[in-house]
Structure 1
């Protein structure tokens, strides 16, 4: 019991997100994938189906396998806590929800396939991490390299290989990270300026 007191729930949004996704994965396994396909993946369906609007957000909670889950959350658990500490839990939660909505809507519009998983969130967080060093309006070279490497790889694999990986979701997640990073950088720059004056 004494050892448990030394543990710290240091990143509430990221840790809770991870735990929920793990529970959803176990639930999917128990139900033979029924709950996952019904509630935690997004696909084209009738506008009269209320779950269509929920799945646009909840698809990030579903994963097809433990490997799929681990691949996404290895990245999310590395970069997420740092971003949550920098921008705050409420801001990070809002960014996750916005990215989930955008990737879900894009998937419904451009593809007939189902989409599930937090890879779009992972890509958004990775790209957003590269913005943490933006100062005085100067663009870090590391940010450019990360963006080129991550997004370039997805474009290349999307053209050269046909697999079950949704490359477009990775790209959209990365683009969300770029746009959010630019907006947040400008906001913090203005706030720093006003704090000094």
Structure 2
């Protein structure tokens, strides 16, 4: 009996996952030093070259394995379907754009807060996936339900919850997913 071949079926999502796992492990080895230096975004000098790197790499950093698992369970479930539908290069641009926007908004509006984690990217993918089977000129009912359930909960939690979870990143990530889905639906970003 021949064993099935294991394939690297979703290169962008799998590479993103492995890089993030490596960042978490490096953070554990360095007692959080590498996480603060490379994988968290916060207000710092514009003369610091790492500030610009962190605007993108903060989505690789996570506080611990539980934080990592929470985000990448969603990303590994939804991401491969999105990568197949929209293409790896396009999905990589969407991930980078979402990282940049959440990083900039955090630095501008929450200058005393360090942001890390891929939850904004996960929310982008959740909302983008709601557009997967839609046609031009249509708003999928699933998108409305997902937006109300996920983003509505984040807005309420952002107002009332006192935790270390960045509802802002979730909301901005979800907004990016809606924007990408809308642009693709209108032919502004080709699907392949």
TM-score bin, normalised by smaller chain: over 0.9
Residues in 1 aligned to 2:63 and 2:19: alpha-carbon distance in whole angstroms: 14
Could you tell me how far 1:140 is from its partner in structure 2?
1.6
Could you tell me how far 1:190 is from its partner in structure 2?
8.4
User: What are the equivalent positions in structure 2 for 1:14-53 lying under 5 Å apart?
Assistant: 14-53=13-52
Residues in 1 aligned to 2:160 and 2:31: alpha-carbon distance in whole angstroms: 33
1:95 paired with 2:94, answer yes
Q: Which has the higher helix share?
A: 1
Could you tell me how far 1:8 is from its partner in structure 2?
1.1
Residues in 2 aligned to 1:136 and 1:104: alpha-carbon distance in whole angstroms: 31
The residue that corresponds to 1:147 in the other structure is 147
Local SS of the residue matching 2:187? helix
> Normalising by the residue count of structure 2, what TM-score does the alignment of the two structures yield?
0.95
> Normalising by the residue count of structure 1, what TM-score does the alignment of the two structures yield?
0.92
Residues in 1 aligned to 2:92 and 2:160: alpha-carbon distance in whole angstroms: 34
Give the paired residue count: 189
Unaligned runs of 5+ in 1: 192-197
Write out per-residue CA displacement over residues 127-148 of structure 1, whole angstroms, 9 at most, x where no aligned residue: 0000112114221211110111
Residues in 1 aligned to 2:145 and 2:65: alpha-carbon distance in whole angstroms: 30
Unaligned runs of 5+ in 2: none
The residue that corresponds to 2:186 in the other structure is 186
Larger-Rg structure: 1
Query: 1:62, 1:117 within 8 Å by CA — same for their partners in 2?
Result: yes
The residue that corresponds to 1:69 in the other structure is 68
Local SS of the residue matching 2:59? helix
- Counterparts in 2 of 1:188 and 1:56: CA distance versus 1, 3 Å: closer
Could you tell me how far 1:18 is from its partner in structure 2?
0.3
User: What are the equivalent positions in structure 2 for 1:159-178 lying under 5 Å apart?
Assistant: 159-178=159-178
